[in-house]
Amino acid sequence: MSNKALRLLIADADLLQRIKLEKMLNQLGYHRIAPLSSFDELQALTRSGCVAFDLLIINTALVRSRQVNLLKYCHDNPLIRHTLIYDGQCAQSSVVSVSVSQTLHLSLSQSPDFNSLRRCMEIVDPLHSLPTVERPMLRAVDSRVAAPSTAARSVYLGDPAVMACAVGLSPKR
């Protein structure tokens, strides 16, 4: 189930593109979406300092000035946690670049489709893609006992790193 508390921004001058992206995000279970039509609106919203946004999806066509480095603006802004930048004018194949910081900055050479949005949201909201299940507990069973219901548990004496990886924990040595 998606995290309903995530705040998302869609910035694109094209109304139909904003509606299309919002509908795809709604299908993925995200509904706290603010559509913006200009870079000035984005600057005003992220300058206020009140609310942080988990994902900004922005068309590069909004930034007309060559003096503004969109990736740097998004990276340096503490109110924008993750960014998906796309070029709505270009029709080449998709190119993805991820920054080395904790936040995610993706660049697409075309408008995002449903699958690219889904993959992006799996990174932004990792619990969304994982079903909630209990972790299996490993135990060694003494094979000499006849009835499986009365099988005694024995302690695993092997390498703790192997055991930790088997249950998804970090090994304690």
DSSP letters, 32-101, are -EEEE-SHHHHHHHHHS-S--BSEEEEEGGG---TT--HHHHHHH-TTB--EEEE-TT--S-------SS
2 lies in some domain = no
Total domains in the chain come to 2
**113 and 145 housed in the same domain:** no
Domain that holds residue 29: 8-129
Report the pLDDT value the prediction gives residue 103, as an integer from 0 to 100. 57
Has this prediction a pTM greater than 0.85? no
Query: pLDDT at position 158, please?
Result: 46
pLDDT at 110: 78
Are 61 and 25 found together in one domain?
Answer: yes
43 and 111 co-located in one domain: yes
What CATH number is given to the structural domain containing 17? 3.40.50.2300
Give pLDDT, residue 133: 46
For residue 1, being part of any structural domain is answered with: no
Looking at residue 18, its pLDDT comes to: 96
Judgement on whether residues 143 and 73 belong to the same structural domain of the protein: no
Q: Are residues 140 and 162 in the same domain?
A: yes
Q: pLDDT averaged over consecutive 10-residue blocks of the chain (173 residues)?
A: 88 95 94 95 86 92 84 89 80 38 60 88 76 50 52 45 38 39
Judge whether 3 lies within some domain: no
